[in-house]
A and B are shown apart, each in its own frame.
Chain A
Amino acid sequence: MLRTLFTAFLRVACFFIVISSGHILAQDPPVPLVDRARGSERVVVGRVTAVNPVWQTNEFGDRLIVSIVSVAVDETLRGPAQGAVDVEVEGGTIGELTLHVSDLESFTPGDRGVFYLKRGSRGLLVPHLRGQGLLKLDRSDRVRGSNFTLADVRREARRVQ
């Protein structure tokens, strides 16, 4: 009986995590946290230590500002443990010119977040599922603009191990 109830609760909770996780994203269908983790080479929790914007031309021929976001890793939820990672994220500011990308978070040093990462075409780490792979955390470890917490992220990532 208890087991049935617990299973029912888990199903309902997972449903709401999936629904609410769409909240922070660009206009797209939300991907469940567990699936974000499953498709990632690495999932890390960390704090941004530096943001270095550069001009880059992507595989489509778009000339864009891309930021190399350096992250000091506090916790590795998936993949090899490493003290720091560099993540390539479209958007950023060079001089007085800023590129905003609607489906991606922008980061500044001191920001804390969860980073679902995969290897990009240039060999650098990029957010898996773009905006759905970048979750900013507030001081109480809630994912900004959403209804879920770092504990939810951890739990869903563990399901993939």
Chain B
Amino acid sequence: MTKTTTLALLAMIPAIGLVLSQDTSAYTTNGATWAQLPVPYSINTTNLDLPESAVEPAVIAGADTWATQSSAAVSLSYTGSSAQTTTGYDGLNLVVFRNASSGSAIATTYYWSSGNRLLDADIVFWDAAFRFFSGSTGCSGGFYIEDIAAHEFGHALGMGHSAVAGATMYPSTSSCNANNRSLDADDIAGILFLYPARTGVPGQIRNVRVVGS
């Protein structure tokens, strides 16, 4: 290694320190949850990148991440496709692909609450700015719907962003990242905080009382 290279590497140390000293706080929530489960949602599958038949299972897979990978008492229910293109506080939880861009956001979740109750949630994929793929192979310079949906449905369930790199709720992602569809321990802790574990989960026995005859 040359002296110049060595010195250049030494010069990196303060910058690396900036990253290593990052805030280690984990998941965040605003404390609000859905009162009624499962949470119904519809998808407007019209988009610029994929056959509509490919969009539906990809979004559903992203949504199901939270119920299938944790013991949280939470569930989402797909109620069918919708032709609606607008979002708002209208009682319809909608996933829509919009032929528009929004800053540098890949997708945005608009969620409505009153007190500690979530009332409505809509997810917008910014389709004009980014190319979307489904599945787990073939992505190039874009994003898998499954991973983006997993993150956005986390918001729809009341999760905020996490400072844990690698968590599904980490605020940033990179193109073709297929890891967000797998919940991190931090994501699971967050969703369990909002929706404590279902009773009767295999391996859990609670409040057992043996009464003699």
Please, which residues of chain B bring their CB within 8 A of the CB of A101? Answer: 108-110
Q: Is B4 an interface residue (CB 8 A)?
A: yes
Contact residue among A17, A22, A63 (Cβ-Cβ distance under 8 Å from B172): A22
Q: A69-77, A81-89, A92-100, A107-115: which lies at the B interface?
A: A92-100
Cβ of B44 within 8 Å of any chain A Cβ, yes or no, is no
**B15 interface contact, C-beta 8 A:** yes
Contact with A along B77-109 (1 / 0, CB 8 A): 000000001111110000000101011111111
Residue in contact with B21 in the complex, picked from A1, A12, A98, A147, CB distance below 8 Å: A147
With A27-B152, A100-B112 as known contacts, state yes or no: A132 contacts B88, CB within 8 Å. no
Chain B residue contacts of A13, Cβ below 8 A: 14-15
Closest to B89 in A: A97
| Inter-chain contact B103/A96, CB cutoff 8 Å | no
Q: What separation, in Å, do the CA atoms of A21 and B150 have in the docked complex?
A: 22
Q: What is the CA–CA distance of A31 and B101 in the complex, to the nearest angstrom?
A: 15
- DSSP majority for the A interface? mixed
Residues in B neighbouring A61, C-beta threshold 8 A: 85-86
Residues of A within 8 A of B211 (CB): none
Q: Chain B's nearest CB lies how many Å from the CB of A102?
A: 4
Q: Mark B106-140, 1 if CB is under 8 A from A, else 0.
A: 11111111110001000000000000000000000
Question: B172, A102: Cβ atoms under 8 Å?
Answer: no
Question: Which stretch from B5-13, B184-192, B196-204 is at the chain A interface?
Answer: B5-13
Chain B hits for A26, CB < 8 A: 105, 108, 161, 171
CA of A46 to CA of B107, assembled, Å: 28
B interface footprint on A100-129 (CB within 8 Å = 1, 0 otherwise)? 111100000000000000000000000111
**B115 partner residues in chain A, CB cutoff 8 A:** 96
Q: For the complex, is B173 an interface residue (Cβ under 8 Å from A)?
A: yes
B4–A1 CB distance below 8 A:
yes
The answer to whether B89 touches A103, judged by C-beta atoms less than 8 angstroms apart, is: no
Instruction: Point out the residues of chain A lying under 8 angstroms from B4, CB to CB.
Output: 1, 4-5
Given the known A-B contacts A5-B8, A60-B86, are A27 and B21 also in contact in the complex, defined by CB atoms under 8 Å? Answer: no
A interface with B by C-beta (< 8 Å): 1, 4-5, 8-9, 12-13, 15-17, 19-20, 22-31, 60-64, 90, 96-103, 127-133, 145-148
